[in-house]
Amino acid sequence: MKFQIKHEIKGRMRVHFIQRRMTYRQADTLLYFLHNLKYVTSVQVYDRTGDAVICYVGERQEMIDKLRAFHYEDVKVPSGLLENSGRELNQKYQDKLFNKVIFHYARKVLLPVPLQVCYTGILSMKYIWKGIRTLAKRKIEVPVLDATAIGISMLRGDFNTAGSVMFLLGIGELLEEWTHKKSVDDLARTMSLNVGKVWLKQEEQEILVSASDVRAGDKVVVHMGNIIPFDGIVTEGEAMVNQASLTGESVPVRKAEDAYVYAGTVVEEGEVTVNVKEVGGSSRFEKIVTMIEESEKLKSASESKAEHLADRLVPYTLLGTGLVYLFTRNITKALSVLMVDFSCALKLAMPISVLSAIREASLYNVTVKGGKYLEAIAEADTIVFDKTGTLTKARPAVAEVISFNGQEPDELLRIAACLEEHFPHSMAKAVVDAAEEKNLCHEEMHTKVEYIVAHGISTTIEGRRAVIGSYHFVFEDEGCKIPVGMEDRFRNLPLEYSHLYLAMEQELAAVICIEDPLREEAAAVINSLKKAGISKVVMMTGDSERTASAIAESVGVDEYYAEVLPEDKAGFVEKEKAEGRKVIMIGDGINDSPALSAADVGIAISDGAEIAKEIADITIGADNLYQIVTLKLLSDSLMRRIRKNYRVIVGFNTGLIVLGVGGILQPASSALLHNASTLCIGLESMRNLLTD
């Protein structure tokens, strides 16, 4: 690709791509390409000028070589990203704002006064009619106040004041609409489907393939805990499917043969084979947008409070206007009160603050599914961590395979990988990855597998029953035994590892030692959370008491619980809530789902089980836990901004009313200052809460 370096300093360059015009799709393709270069730290692409500003680390020549080799058609962009990037939306609203401002002031300069009056009169009918309709519903709310202010100004012949009020109201509405739509689209985009691999059914075998290779008419198998990748019809099996991302309902729905299932929903229990009807991702995006728009999930208690307060204040503003006129008999002073109200700023600033915070969270790779969850985090005093994949690294690894039945460790690892590859758990992935590293081919050798949440897997291999999972599952639930003469080997298993037990025909075959190292930042994150106001930090794990105790001491939690089941985690969360505490739950597995659902805020790790991400209210990246601290700081900053907005709105507008009643400010000036302050507060509320 031909380009020109327009400006450059060390680690940063602005380049211009030499082409006639850069389309939105090309700009987003370029942005995606540059974002995915490991040495690029940040990048912005400007489609209008065909420029890109790139910040990077490493060698300058390497950056230049990558740009030279870049071609739009060579970049494989994930489905739905270009169609729903938001670039066109931003451009559309920027143009709308620019055109509105230019038209307003050009009209004042170019149009004769009679035509200006006529235009203002026609425009005022929209607001007056809206106020009349609100009154017809027996409500005295903000549209009534706007209609009264504009209507009286028109009757008095004060067309400039009426025009200014309508102009500023229009700007405010446009900013609110833009921020709301952008935040909804950003949220929907992060909730949209992003499936890499799927199980394709060919004859009687399941083959792991890329989702992009699947076509309409193919059959895919979806196991428990996995996301349904495409719209389609169930041809085999039965499952309970969580459809919360599309319908908002938390109760799973039963899906059996001939039932229709939707892309992005999650199999909570069971297993289904789906005949694919649609492979495109756009319908999924549109469904999510509709669900968000129709639900109350975006609304925090502060937003609802602001809306209700704004509407409740309207009658008092009208009453104040009437009383001022009654006592002063001065219509100008009365109008000065009418032109100033608290409701406009309250209704504009609060939603914009919350939606902007959700947008800002996405900059830190944090997906927040609604404003009320940010508010709940700010109020939370208890946080519960799962251990595996949360406090420990998200990518555990197999350290050793210890044979108990005389078979080679590699053969036992191959069998284990064949079972584990079907299920979304970090331990299972460690086994599969270890087999791949050793090039151990594990063709399907078993019959139908059964997954028992938080315990393990059972199946039949060549007529022999095989189970793999926790100590509790293998030895207590399944009643398996240690081979005679192997007791000493079992007692001397390495204590520094987590253990996965493989048994065949009721006898232990192998112990797979999993290295599950603690995240380097875990202790610092917990310390930071305590400083940020979290008074109780708890760790819960299905692992042994020995392992849990060591981890708990290392990271500095206040309490820990070992060998717990999914219902134990959920029960603990419910108990804490019953005692009046606000609880955050953080986990990544299927077994964390009940607790994530029960908590005031459920936070899932991005590379965890699909069902955990679906149920969770917030998703954070898997790279490090500091995003939890960032989330807490962001939430606290949002609540401070909301309280500050209340003080500024009440203080400033009260001052305008006092000045108006005192005869110092004319109605036109009051209206201008009031609407300008509302606009400024709205713009201020769009600024990022956290700085570098």
pLDDT in tens, 52-61: 999 988 889 9
The verdict on 264 and 223 lying in the same domain is yes
- Show the DSSP H helices in 329-425 as ranges: 331-338, 343-363, 371-379, 409-420
Compute the average pLDDT of residues 90-113. 88
Distance CA 223, CA 235 (A): 14
Q: How many domains does the chain have?
A: 5
User: What mean pLDDT value characterizes the chain?
Assistant: 83
The verdict on 247 and 272 lying in the same domain is yes
Query: How many Cβ atoms from other residues are within 10 Å of residue 159's Cβ?
Result: 18
The answer to whether 16 touches 3, Cβ cutoff 8 Å, is yes
* Residue 247 counted as domain residue: yes
Q: Quote the domain boundaries for residue 12.
A: 3-77
Whether residue 31 is predicted with pLDDT greater than 60 in this model: the reply is yes
* Residue 360 counted as domain residue: no
Q: Long-range contacts for 530-533 (Cβ within 8 Å, ≥24 apart)?
A: 532/629, 532/632, 532/633, 532/636, 533/381, 533/632, 533/636
Least confident of 1-15, 23-37, 456-470, 512-526: 456-470
The verdict on 408 and 510 lying in the same domain is yes
Distance CA 155, CA 576 (A): 61
Domain end among 77, 106, 141: 77
* Residue 630 counted as domain residue: no
Q: What is the 3-state secondary structure (H, E, C) of 183-215?
A: HHHHHHHHHCCCCCEEEEEECCEEEEEEHHHCC
The verdict on 26 and 115 lying in the same domain is no
The verdict on 9 and 96 lying in the same domain is no
pLDDT of residue 558: 94
Distance CA 514, CA 436 (A): 16
The verdict on 572 and 532 lying in the same domain is yes
Distance CA 24, CA 21 (A): 10
Whether residue 299 is predicted with pLDDT greater than 80 in this model: the reply is no
* Residue 83 counted as domain residue: no
pLDDT of residue 489: 92
pLDDT of residue 667: 75
pLDDT of residue 296: 46
Distance CA 292, CA 272 (A): 28
The answer to whether 468 touches 420, Cβ cutoff 8 Å, is yes
pLDDT of residue 692: 43
Top pLDDT among 510 and 645 is at 510
Return the SS3 of 667: helix
Token readout for 185 is 């689209």
Top pLDDT among 392 and 246 is at 392
Q: Give the residue from 238, 361, 264 showing the smallest Cα distance to 632.
A: 361
Instruction: Report angle CA 131, 132, 138 to the nearest 5 degrees.
Output: 95
Q: Model confidence over 174-218: pLDDT tens digits?
A: 877 776 677 667 666 655 545 567 888 887 777 878 777 788 889
The verdict on 452 and 476 lying in the same domain is yes
Domain end among 77, 105, 123: 77
The answer to whether 370 touches 298, Cβ cutoff 8 Å, is yes
* Residue 84 counted as domain residue: no
Please report, for the domain that includes residue 205, its CATH number.
2.70.150.10
Distance CA 386, CA 9 (A): 45
pTM reported for the whole predicted model? 0.70
* Residue 287 counted as domain residue: no
Please report, for the domain that includes residue 459, its CATH number.
3.40.1110.10
The verdict on 477 and 597 lying in the same domain is no
The verdict on 64 and 101 lying in the same domain is no
DSSP labels, 342-363 = SHHHHHHHHHHHHHHHHHHHHH
Kindly list the strands in the beta sheet with 507-515, ordered across the sheet, starting from the edge strand earlier in the chain. Answer: 397-403, 507-515, 498-504, 464-469, 456-461, 450-452
The verdict on 103 and 124 lying in the same domain is yes
The verdict on 605 and 526 lying in the same domain is yes
Please report, for the domain that includes residue 37, its CATH number.
3.30.70.100
Please report, for the domain that includes residue 610, its CATH number.
3.40.50.1000
* Residue 480 counted as domain residue: yes
Q: Model confidence over 301-310: pLDDT tens digits?
A: 666 666 666 6
Distance CA 517, CA 498 (A): 10
Q: Give the residue from 642, 393, 391 showing the smallest Cα distance to 529.
A: 391
Confidence of residue 574 (pLDDT cuts 50, 70, 90): very high
Distance CA 405, CA 464 (A): 14
Half-sphere exposure at residue 105, Cβ-oriented, CA atoms within 13 angstroms: 5
pLDDT of residue 285: 57
Compute the average pLDDT of residues 368-386. 90
pLDDT of residue 600: 93
CA 251 to chain centre: 21
What's the first-to-final CA gap in the chain, in angstroms? 34
The verdict on 179 and 261 lying in the same domain is no
* Residue 168 counted as domain residue: yes
One-letter amino acid identity for 346? L
Q: Model confidence over 624-657: pLDDT tens digits?
A: 788 999 999 999 999 999 889 888 888 888 888 8
Confidence of residue 490 (pLDDT cuts 50, 70, 90): very high
Q: Which residue has the tokens 């349904």?
A: 228
Domain end among 32, 53, 77: 77
